[in-house]
């Protein structure tokens, strides 16, 4: 999100105008996770802790991390200013993580139009897919081959949830069980389920955090072990979704992780910074999009931060 402050202020105005639909949280926080008071089936609530933290040496000073993917033992990363896919290489010692190019299979799209890449996933044939936020389009390519394919999406049934703000569009993509999932970021948050072959919208639903929240901001999606995971930037939670019922079955709160001295960033409005999510059987991986802001306790360090959290095992 390139204009985080303006986007946050815009979302604040929208949320206040829609307060009849959603209760507001008490000052000074914009989001307070409380006991599970959401509608629908009960969910299990979990508090995350980080067992490892890295500052990430990114390709340029204006690089904003946006999407993560765990793929074949590699942690892949995309940013919001190009279609290049990177690999985050973790150090064996207590040192920063390094970023290297993984593939330029989407690079031709950069020659035609600037891409705001806000998510990455892999399908059941091993093909990578990225999502271009403002154009609400998905691009698919095979690593090692030239060229890409733009999926033909018929999003008509979901268009009523779309904002005119192109920076409030698709923020996250996931593939699972033969379906594509897109996260409509904010103003009217929605998870949109699409048939990847026909491009037809199969269904859409809301994944709602527990407690009182002024606004949510879906930031990324991930698929693991037959479940969909949704990252909510400002409530600072990850929601685990049963795709068969589209119900939230578990909620993972990372507020304490983001408040750690080695992670916390300066923020005028107490907004969240976690933008990318990758899920494995045992771990959650989160990366910040700090929009050029420095860490609160390290004012000269404006690099993004990668954290690893053990994933609680559900019964």
pLDDT value of residue 298: 96
pLDDT per position as a tens digit, 223-263: 999 999 999 998 999 999 999 999 999 999 999 999 999 99
Q: Which CATH architecture has domain 4-310?
A: 6 Propeller (2.120)
Each residue of 228-264: b (16+ CB within 10 Å) or e? bbbbbbbbbbbbbbebeebebebbbbbbebbeeeebb
- Strand pairing report for 85-89 and 74-79: antiparallel
Each residue of 179-216: b (16+ CB within 10 Å) or e? bbbbbbbbbebbbbbbebeeeebeebebbbbbbbbbbb
Q: Do the beta carbons of residue 311 and residue 291 sit within 8 Å?
A: no
pLDDT value of residue 113: 64
pLDDT value of residue 282: 97
- pTM, two decimal places: 0.85
Domain ranges of the chain: 4-310
Q: Do the beta carbons of residue 82 and residue 2 sit within 8 Å?
A: no
Contacts (Cβ under 8 Å, ≥6 apart) of 230: 172, 183, 191, 207, 218, 220, 221, 238, 239, 241
pLDDT value of residue 216: 77
What residues of the chain score a pLDDT lower than 70?
A: 1-40, 110-113, 134, 162-169, 186-187, 213-214
pLDDT value of residue 184: 85
pLDDT value of residue 165: 57
């Amino acid at each position: 999100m390139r204009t985080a402050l303006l986007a946050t202020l815009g979302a604040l105005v929208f949320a206040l105008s829609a307060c009849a639909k959603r209760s507001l949280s008490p000052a000074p926080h914009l989001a307070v996770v409380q006991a599970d008071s959401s509608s629908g089936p009960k969910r299990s609530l979990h508090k995350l802790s980080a067992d490892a933290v890295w500052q990430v040496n990114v390709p340029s000073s204006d690089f904003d991390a946006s999407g993560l993917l765990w793929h074949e033992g590699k942690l892949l990363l995309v940013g919001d200013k190009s279609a290049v896919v990177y690999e985050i290489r973790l150090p064996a010692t207590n040192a920063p993580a390094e970023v290297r190019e993984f593939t330029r299979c989407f690079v031709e799209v950069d020659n035609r139009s600037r891409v705001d890449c806000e998510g990455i996933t892999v399908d059941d044939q091993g093909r990578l897919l990225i999502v271009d936020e403002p154009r609400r389009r998905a691009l698919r390519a095979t690593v090692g081959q030239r060229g890409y394919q733009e999926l033909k999406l018929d999003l008509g049934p979901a268009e009523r949830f779309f904002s005119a703000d192109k920076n409030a569009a698709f923020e996250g993509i996931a593939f699972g069980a033969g379906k594509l999932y897109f996260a409509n970021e904010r103003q009217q948050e929605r998870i949109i389920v699409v048939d990847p072959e026909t491009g037809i919208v199969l269904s859409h639903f809301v994944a709602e955090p527990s407690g009182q929240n002024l606004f949510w901001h879906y930031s990324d999606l991930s698929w693991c072990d037959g479940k969909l995971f949704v990252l909510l930037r400002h409530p600072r939670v990850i929601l685990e979704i049963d795709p068969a019922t589209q119900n939230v079955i578990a909620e993972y709160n990372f507020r304490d992780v983001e408040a750690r001295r080695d992670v916390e960033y300066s923020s005028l409005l107490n907004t969240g910074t976690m933008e990318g999510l990758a899920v494995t059987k045992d771990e959650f991986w989160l990366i910040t999009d700090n929009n050029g802001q420095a860490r609160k306790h390290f004012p000269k360090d404006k690099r993004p931060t990668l954290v690893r959290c053990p994933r609680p095992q559900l019964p």
